[in-house]
Amino acid sequence: MLETIGVEDESELFDVPESIRFEGAFGIDSQDERGTAREIEQVLSRNDETASFLGRGHYAHHVPAVVERLSARSEFLTSYTQYQPEVAQGFLQALFEYQSMLVELTGLDVANSSMYDRATALGEAATLATRVRETSGSRVLVPELLREEQREVLENYAIGAGLDVEAYPSDDGNADLEALTATIDDDVVMVYAENPTVRGTIEEQLAEIGDLADGHDALFCLGSDPVALALLEEPASVGADVVVGDAGALGLGHAYGMSHGLFATRESFLRQVPGRLVGAGTDGSGRRAYTLTLQTREQHIRQERATSNICTNQAWVALRTAIHAAWLGADGLVELAEEAVRAPKALAARVDDIAGIDAPVHDRHHFREFLARTDRPAPAVRDDLRDRGYAVHALDGDHLQLCVTDVNEHATDGLVGALSEVA
């Protein structure tokens, strides 16, 4: 090969000035395959074995084995963005089906094929709001209980769009509609609400929030996830303009916060949607075929006038979500969601029976998780539970938060026992 090129050594191919050539060493030792695997296994074994009752935005449901097996098909894993659709029909169709499922779940017209996560999807929603609004505005309203991390991501997206993020008060876990009514004005471009909320309560006044936003020409953005959407009020029916959320709640399980963001909206905002969209078209044989479409919205064509800078996204996780949802089917999805209402209710009742704890704190319906009030300081209770092998959230002062799904339900007896000892 060197001879064909006409050089004696590869180093001659580098047109790099001597002054900046790297002559040092990184000091990174190489390991063979077995050694690398063993090292990682040993390091990761330093993670404690814990029965996790953590939620607050990152959820796990049992991922069926078939999701692992099919998503690991190496054609899926090793392909990239479908710039040549004729040779990528399979992945395109899988993403088209993912988009279609999100359309069913949200009742909205359009879903993109993935964002990075819920927080960045929320940021994208805010910038979309500024683009589709006829008059300019500068305020984005979010629940005061929104995770601080998500609010910070939103603020970082809002900087460039000249938006200020402000919190509106909560009432027993849900949106305080009166307070929201008092603070909203025509300078608001978007109102964000979550269903379920980060505390697991189910919103009861979504349509009212939607009307309120609509009355000020503000977008109503709703945060949710595909399991909750299978049972709770359909976003389109309560006036949601955009739905964002954690779609990885189906298909991925706990991955230290890695997930993928769902993003769905109305057809009228189609040309302002961020990210990849797969559409159906026709090929030279007259058959239905799929392709990335409306690419003139995107950075590789539109550069600084693009709707977003996103290029690489979370497509493979979206594939897993679609396989998981299809495996469950309509019946299985609804059943899983109903169980996510029953399980926390049952656990809260048992926790409430323990002396020194009241649960649930909020007089609401709950989804997956709920708050409990402890007589002892909550962080101390949390630490004692940790010593017994259970992970729970301790919020400010005397509040614990517990999340229960099909992956940890088997451990609830143990948790209740441990709580009885430490409460």
Partner 1 sequence: MRYDQARWSEADHYEPLLIEKRSETVEIEDSPLPDDLTREELTMPSPAEPELARHYTRLSQETYGVDSGPVPLGSCTMKYNPSLLEAVAADENAAVHPDRPEESVQGTLEIMATLQDWLGRIGGMDAVTLQPPAGAAGEYTGLLIAKAYHESRGEDRSEVLIPDSAHGTNFASAAMAGFEVVELPSGEDGRVDLDALTAAVGDETAALMLTNPNTLGLFERDIDEIAEIVHDAGGLLYYDGANLNALLGQARPGDMGFDIMHYNVHKTFATPHGGGGPGAGPVGVTADLAPFLPRPHVRESEGEYELYDPERSIGKVHGYQGNWLVLLKAYAYIRRLGDAGLAETSRKAVLNANYLAERIDFEIPYGPFHHEFVASAGDRDAANVAKHMLDRGVHPPTTKWPELVDEALMVEPTEAESKETLELLADAFDAASNADPDTLESSPHRTTARRIDQVEAARSPRLSWRALEDS
Residues 190-219 contacting partner 1, CB under 8 A: 202, 204
Residue 21 burial (C-beta neighbours within 10 Å; 0-12, 13-18, 19+): exposed
Residues 6 or more apart in contact with residue 57 via CB below 8 angstroms: 118, 147, 150, 198, 246
At residue 261, what are phi and psi to the nearest 5 degrees?
-90, 130
- Give the nearer residue to partner 1 in terms of CB position, either 142 or 184: 142
Please state, in angstroms and rounded to a whole number, the distance separating the CA atoms of residues 391 and 383: 9
Please, which residue, 54 or 180, has the CB nearer to partner 1?
54
Closest contact distance (angstroms) between CB of 61 and partner 1 is 13
| Interface of this chain with partner 1, residues 2 to 61, rule: CB under 8 A | 2, 4-5, 7, 10-11, 13-17, 19-22, 25-33, 36-37, 39-41, 43-48, 50, 52, 54, 56-58, 60
Site string for partner 1, 309-338 (x = CB under 8 A): xxxxxxxxx-x---x-xxxxxxxxxx---x
Within 271-310, the residues that bind partner 1 by CB under 8 A are 276-291, 293-296, 298-306, 308-310
List the one residue from 194, 233, 369, 398 that touches partner 1 (CB under 8 A): 233
Count of residues engaged in binding partner 1, rule: CB under 8 A = 177
Q: How far is the CB of 51 from partner 1 (least distance, A)?
A: 11
- Subset of residues 76 to 95 that bind partner 1, contact rule: CB under 8 A: 76-91, 93-95
In the complex with partner 1, which residue's Cβ is closer, 184 or 274?
A: 274
Nearer to partner 1, 135 or 312 (CB): 312
Peptide bond before 360: cis, by omega within 30 degrees of 0?
Answer: yes
* Residue of 228, 220, 154 whose CA lies nearest to 198: 228
Regarding 263 and contact with partner 1 (CB under 8 A), the answer is: no
Residue of 370, 358, 369 lying closest to 398 (CA atoms): 358
d(CA 186, CA 17): 58
Residues 62, 131, 144, 156: which binds partner 1 (CB under 8 A)?
156
Q: Does 136 bind partner 1 (CB under 8 A)?
A: no
Which is closer to partner 1, CB of 36 or CB of 181? 36
177 lies in the binding site for partner 1 (CB under 8 A):
no
CA distances from 347 to 102, 173, 344, 413 (A): 30, 18, 5, 9
Nearer to partner 1, 118 or 139 (CB): 118
For partner 1, the binding residues in 359-418 under the rule CB under 8 A are 365, 386, 391, 393
Q: Angle 378-387/412-422 helices, nearest 10 degrees?
A: 120
Q: How far is the CB of 181 from partner 1 (least distance, A)?
A: 21
135 binds partner 1 (CB under 8 A): no
**Spatial separation of the C-alpha atoms in residues 408 and 284, rounded to whole Å:** 51
CA 219 to chain centre: 20
Query: Which of 182, 296 has the CB closer to partner 1?
Result: 296
Which residues are CB-neighbours of 201 under 8 A, at least 6 positions away? 172, 173, 174, 362, 364, 365, 366, 367, 370
Residue 204 CB neighbour total at 10 angstroms: 14
Residue with Cβ nearer partner 1 (184 or 359):
359
Q: Read off φ and ψ for residue 61, nearest 5 degrees.
A: -125, 160
Pick from 253, 336, 402, 405 the residue near partner 1 by CB under 8 A: 253
Q: How far is CA 206 from the centre of its chain?
A: 20
241 lines the binding site for partner 1 (CB under 8 A): no
Angle of helix 148-161 versus helix 118-132 axis, rounded to 10: 30
Q: How far is the CB of 224 from partner 1 (least distance, A)?
A: 12
Part of the chain binding partner 1 (CB under 8 A), chosen from 103-111, 137-145, 355-363, 409-417: 103-111
